[in-house]
């Protein structure tokens, strides 16, 4: 049965093993307000309580994924004389608060798909980079627009973007703040696939349905190791790999897969046949 939860600036729809989290403040082009950040925390609490959810899709309503930080909110804070709201330490505390739920999103056991239609700018682009797969519409546009505001890239972009597209390309996008369309994003390697706007969400759901059939334990462990691979030396990664394999190869999924293989049956999770 489909479950629909309306939050303040987002909507969460759970249909079987797939959850779709949609930004719904399209009058602000889904700016990443403090309220939307709270909605993400609600989402993550819901995922932690519902292990039957196997894939998460994040997307935006109204032809925009996320326009980045809430500029109106920034201007209000800058005019506020209260140092608890407008000071270097206040900025640090706010961003650290966001990092707590961003880290949870980054480290989710389940695959995350970002379905990007329209703009993904600044923190919106950084948010999309937390996903395992970015699907973009033909009218999607990406920009590390922080430099336009005299700001440093945040929301984890300084970690994620260089690892996905390389340091030289990341330097280009971050220092120029230039706009990148879906085709260039695919060439650079951060866009997984491109679709027409009206087929973007169905394509994301089709991808999610295939991923949902995969082994939960092995998927979670693989994501965990991949997220640490660039900072881990070879010997340590081999040790982590061995420990992870010990868990994966004692899961019911592995036992069932080995039985199917021994009896000559096709694997239950055969990507090319799904």
For the CA atoms of the chain, what is the radius of gyration? Answer: 20
* pLDDT value of residue 57: 98
Give the list of residues 6+ apart from residue 194 with CB closer than 8 angstroms, or none: 135, 136, 137, 138, 140, 182, 183, 186
The DSSP secondary structure of 214-231, one letter per residue, reads S-HHHHHHHHHHHTTGGG
* pLDDT value of residue 84: 67
Residues 131-148 have a mean pLDDT of 97
Residue length of the chain? 274
Helix (H, G, I), strand (E, B) or coil at 97: helix
Per residue in 73-90, pLDDT tens? 666 676 667 776 778 878
* pLDDT value of residue 22: 98
Residues 155-161 have a mean pLDDT of 97
62, HSE (Cβ side, Cα atoms, 13 Å): 13
* pLDDT value of residue 160: 97
In this structure, are residues 190 and 135 in contact, taking their beta carbons and an 8 Å threshold? no
* pLDDT value of residue 81: 74
Instruction: Sheet containing 3-6: give its strands across.
Output: 3-6, 10-15, 18-23, 55-60, 112-116, 133-137, 193-195
Question: For all residues of the chain together, what is the average pLDDT?
Answer: 94
pTM above 0.85, yes or no: yes
Residue whose tokens read 């640090």? 92
* pLDDT value of residue 71: 67
Per-residue pLDDT at 266 exceeds 80: yes
CATH number corresponding to 3-211: 3.90.226.10
Name residue 129's beta-bridge partners: none
Work out the burial of residue 52: count CB atoms within 10 Å of its CB; fewer than 13 is exposed, 13-18 middle, 19 or more buried: exposed
Residue ranges of the chain assigned to CATH 3.90.226.10: 3-211
Name residue 141's beta-bridge partners: 119, 181
* pLDDT value of residue 201: 98
Q: E-strand spans in 24-126?
A: 55-60, 112-116, 119-121
Q: Tell me which fold the domain 216-273 belongs to.
A: Lyase 2-enoyl-coa Hydratase; Chain  A, domain 2 (1.10.12)
Residues 235-251 have a mean pLDDT of 97
Per residue in 96-126, pLDDT tens? 989 999 999 999 999 999 999 999 999 999 9
Work out the burial of residue 43: count CB atoms within 10 Å of its CB; fewer than 13 is exposed, 13-18 middle, 19 or more buried: buried
Residue ranges of the chain assigned to CATH 1.10.12.10: 216-273
Q: Which residue has the higher pLDDT, 68 or 131?
A: 131
The Cα 241–Cα 235 span in angstroms is: 10
């Amino acid at each position: 049965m489909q479950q629909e939860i309306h939050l303040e600036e987002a909507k969460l729809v759970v249909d079987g093993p797939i959850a779709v989290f949609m930004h719904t403040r399209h009058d602000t082009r889904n700016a990443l307000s403090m309220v939307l950040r709270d909605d993400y925390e609600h989402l993550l609490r819901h995922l932690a309580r519902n292990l039957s959810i196997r894939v998460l899709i994040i997307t935006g309503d109204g032809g925009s994924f996320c326009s980045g930080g809430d500029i109106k909110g920034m201007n209000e804070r800058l005019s506020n004389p209260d140092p608890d709201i407008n000071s270097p330490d206040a900025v640090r505390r706010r961003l650290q608060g966001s990092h707590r739920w961003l880290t949870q999103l980054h480290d989710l056991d389940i695959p995350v798909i970002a379905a990007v239609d329209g703009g993904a700018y600044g923190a919106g682009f950084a948010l999309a980079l937390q996903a395992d797969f970015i699907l973009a519409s033909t009218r999607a546009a990406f920009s590390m627009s922080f430099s336009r505001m005299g700001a440093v890239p945040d929301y984890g972009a300084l970690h994620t973007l260089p690892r996905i597209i390389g340091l030289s390309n990341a330097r280009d996008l971050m220092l120029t703040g230039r706009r990148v369309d879906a085709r260039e994003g695919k060439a650079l390697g951060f866009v997984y696939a491109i679709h027409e706007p009206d087929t973007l969400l169905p394509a994301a759901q089709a991808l999610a349905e295939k991923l949902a059939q995969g082994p939960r334990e092995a998927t979670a462990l693989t994501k965990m190791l991949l997220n640490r691979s660039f900072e881990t030396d070879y010997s340590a990664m081999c040790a982590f790999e061995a420990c992870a394999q010990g868990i994966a190869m004692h899961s019911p999924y592995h036992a069932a897969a080995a039985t199917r293989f021994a009896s000559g049956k096709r694997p239950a999770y055969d990507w090319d046949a799904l």
